[in-house]
Amino acid sequence: MTDKTRLDVIVAPYGREVRLDEVPFESGMRLLRITIREGRRFTVLDLDARSAAEWGRVMTEWSNSQAGCDSSRCAS
């Protein structure tokens, strides 16, 4: 594994922090590393592009439903 690239840091409710990093490996594989910090506890998930796309789709659908959006007015 070489150096990761920080993509974003999201400050979430209740003092949580979500870090998104791209992690390249010597084999050429690249994963999205999601690190969730809750106080002193860390949860780390590594996702491939397909899994990240599926997760992103589900989160976008949920977010749009919470905001009262339809597909013509909100993120797709």
Domain membership of residue 73 (yes or no) is no
Domain membership of residue 75 (yes or no) is no
Count of domains observed in the chain? 1
Band (70; pLDDT cuts 50, 70, 90): low
Domain membership of residue 72 (yes or no) is no
Domain membership of residue 49 (yes or no) is yes
Domain membership of residue 58 (yes or no) is yes
Long-range pairs for 43-50: beta carbons < 8 A, 24 or more residues apart: none
Domain membership of residue 74 (yes or no) is no
Convert the pLDDT of each residue in 1-25 to its tens digit.
669 999 999 999 999 999 999 999 9
Q: Which two tokens stand for residue 37?
A: 């910090």
CB 21 within 8 A of CB 32: yes
For residue 27, pLDDT beyond 80: yes
Q: State if pTM tops 0.85.
A: no
**Opening angle at CA 74, ends 68 and 75, nearest 5:** 130
CB 55 within 8 A of CB 47: yes
